[in-house]
């Protein structure tokens, strides 16, 4: 079987699909990845990658988002609140994804969550499409409405509808609404390869708290969040490991950084770091949220960007962490998350729930049957 993975050009959208790509390759199937921009770094995972926009003619996701700052910063209550951005991201990349599919001639297309170019590419060849979940978000009727949302793209490629579709859902069932017909699959965190420094491996003598603030693409308040962490960290009995790899600028230059804060500029994979942490403070991104759940670590989420509000609500409602605005973040809140026995119990339950889901390896025969 020949499988083409197609992704919106963000590493955060493509990285969650890496374990399934590995599983397919290990089972003897041919795997190709089509993407562009920052997501091309997935080649470091040992995958064969095709750049579907080598001349950089497409707008980046950051440029698309810049056109609708009102939607990027809005407190979304459902995925449909961001539909204009999702439609634009589909429209911008659909032609390139279709061209890549016609070049590679796969038997199956696996695409990133809420990227409509994947189903269109599959439809152009008459093969099935599989959405690979990567978050706690629900896709609702986004794909069903594509023919009416982008009729010009369907007409340009003589497409008369959508292909046979399936969806892989990695969200813990107790944290989300059921997605009818979706296939549950265990989330295996992949944060890119990297060296975990000896001093960050294992548990320290005291408590360690990881801090990750995402990127400016969908986390517009990361600068004030980081400044607030520096303000309150000195009053918390714990070491803070602040991950700033890939964050532009010298965010800590003008701040008074307490001695219990370790600034990490080198790339450090989040998931193994969490094995030595008592908690995490983060911006509400899907990768950080799911990695913390997989590690069994309590979360304090300061959401920023439309989809992150939806995910932080799930964290709070399931009891695996707490949420706050930047101005509400203080030492008492951080200590409270670490010391809350109810949070720790809920985290253990969700971690066990995730571990019991079918692994990517177990999904391979089902995908082969779909393609056949």
Pair 278, 254 in one domain = yes
Pair 37, 165 in one domain = yes
Pair 351, 363 in one domain = no
Pair 183, 207 in one domain = no
User: Residue 163 in contact with residue 143, Cβ under 8 Å?
Assistant: no
User: 39-57: per-residue pLDDT in tens?
Assistant: 999 999 999 999 999 999 8
Identify whether 290 is part of a domain.
yes
* Strand stretches in the chain, DSSP E: 2-6, 30-35, 49-51, 108-112, 129-132, 165-169, 183-184, 208-212, 239-243, 261-264, 279-282, 299-301, 321-323
Identify whether 350 is part of a domain.
yes
User: 141-190: per-residue pLDDT in tens?
Assistant: 999 999 999 999 999 999 999 999 999 999 999 999 999 999 999 999 99
Phi/psi of residue 318, nearest 5 degrees: -80, -15
Which of these, 54, 7, 10, 6, lies nearest to 216 by C-alpha position? 10
| pLDDT given for residue 219 in this prediction | 54
Pair 230, 140 in one domain = no
| pLDDT given for residue 314 in this prediction | 96
Dig out the tokens for 197 from the structure.
């420094």
User: Residue 127 in contact with residue 107, Cβ under 8 Å?
Assistant: yes
- pLDDT tens digits, the chain, 372 residues: what are they? 999 999 999 999 999 999 999 999 999 999 999 999 999 999 999 999 999 999 998 888 888 887 888 777 778 888 888 889 999 999 999 999 999 999 999 999 999 999 999 999 999 999 999 999 999 999 889 999 999 999 999 999 999 999 999 999 999 999 999 999 999 999 999 988 888 888 888 788 899 999 998 765 545 567 788 889 999 999 999 999 999 876 655 555 556 889 999 999 888 899 999 999 999 999 999 999 999 999 999 999 999 877 888 999 999 999 999 999 999 999 999 999 999 999 999 999 999 999 999 999 999 999 999 999
Domain that residue 47 falls in: 2-187+357-371
| pLDDT given for residue 149 in this prediction | 95
Dig out the tokens for 138 from the structure.
């629900």
CA distance 71 to 108: 33
Pair 203, 175 in one domain = no
Identify whether 193 is part of a domain.
no
Helix (H) or strand (E) segment spanning residue 318: helix 306-318
- Quickly count: other Cβ atoms within 10 Å of residue 295's Cβ: 20
Residues 6+ apart with CB under 8 A from 100: 4, 6, 34, 50, 52, 121
User: Residue 299 in contact with residue 310, Cβ under 8 Å?
Assistant: no
Identify whether 192 is part of a domain.
no
Identify whether 9 is part of a domain.
yes
Number of domains in the chain: 2
Pair 221, 179 in one domain = no
Global pTM value: 0.93
Pair 28, 120 in one domain = yes
CA distances from 217 to 61, 133, 247, 347 (A): 8, 20, 11, 28
| pLDDT given for residue 79 in this prediction | 84
Pair 180, 213 in one domain = no
Identify whether 74 is part of a domain.
yes
Q: What is the CATH number of the domain that holds 21?
A: 3.40.50.2000
| pLDDT given for residue 215 in this prediction | 60
| pLDDT given for residue 174 in this prediction | 97
Identify whether 303 is part of a domain.
yes
Pair 225, 341 in one domain = yes
Identify whether 250 is part of a domain.
yes
Pair 157, 240 in one domain = no
Pair 63, 208 in one domain = no
User: Residue 264 in contact with residue 313, Cβ under 8 Å?
Assistant: no
Which of these, 305, 210, 225, lies nearest to 262 by C-alpha position? 210
């Amino acid at each position: 079987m020949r499988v083409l993975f197609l992704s919106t050009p963000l590493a955060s959208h493509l990285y969650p699909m890496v374990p399934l790509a590995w599983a397919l390759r290990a089972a003897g199937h041919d795997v190709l990845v089509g993407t562009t921009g920052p997501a091309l770094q997935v080649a470091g995972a040992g995958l064969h990658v095709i750049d579907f926009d080598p001349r950089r003619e497409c707008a980046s996701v950051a440029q698309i988002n810049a056109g609708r700052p009102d939607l990027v910063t809005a407190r979304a209550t459902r995925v449909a609140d961001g539909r204009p951005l999702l439609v634009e991201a589909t429209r911008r990349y659909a032609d390139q994804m279709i061209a890549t599919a016609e070049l590679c001639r796969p038997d199956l297309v696996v695409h990133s969550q809420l990227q409509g170019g994947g189903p269109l590419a599959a439809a152009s060849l008459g093969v099935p499409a599989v959405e690979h979940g990567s978050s706690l978000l629900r896709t609702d009727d986004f794909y069903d409405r594509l023919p009416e949302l982008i009729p010009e793209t369907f007409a340009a490629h003589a497409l008369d509808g959508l292909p046979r579709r399936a969806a892989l859902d990695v969200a813990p069932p107790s944290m989300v609404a059921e997605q009818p017909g979706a296939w549950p699959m265990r989330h295996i965190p992949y944060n890119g390869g990297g060296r975990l420094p000896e001093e960050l491996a294992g548990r320290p003598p005291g408590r360690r708290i990881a801090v990750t603030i995402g990127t400016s693409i969908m986390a517009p308040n990361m600068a004030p969040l980081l400044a607030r962490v520096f303000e309150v960290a000195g009053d918390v009995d714990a070491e803070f490991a602040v991950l700033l790899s890939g964050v532009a600028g010298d965010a800590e230059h003008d701040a008074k950084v307490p001695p219990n804060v370790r600034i990490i500029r080198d790339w450090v994979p989040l998931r193994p770091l969490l094995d030595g942490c008592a908690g995490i403070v983060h911006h509400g991104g899907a990768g950080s949220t799911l990695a913390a759940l997989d590690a069994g670590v309590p979360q304090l989420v300061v959401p920023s960007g439309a989809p992150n509000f939806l995910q932080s609500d799930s964290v709070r409602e399931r009891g695996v962490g707490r949420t706050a605005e930047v101005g509400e973040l203080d030492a008492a809140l951080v200590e409270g998350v670490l010391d809350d026995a109810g949070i720790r119990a809920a985290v253990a339950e969700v971690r066990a729930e995730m571990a019991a889901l079918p692994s990517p390896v177990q999904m391979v025969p089902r995908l082969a049957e779909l393609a056949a």
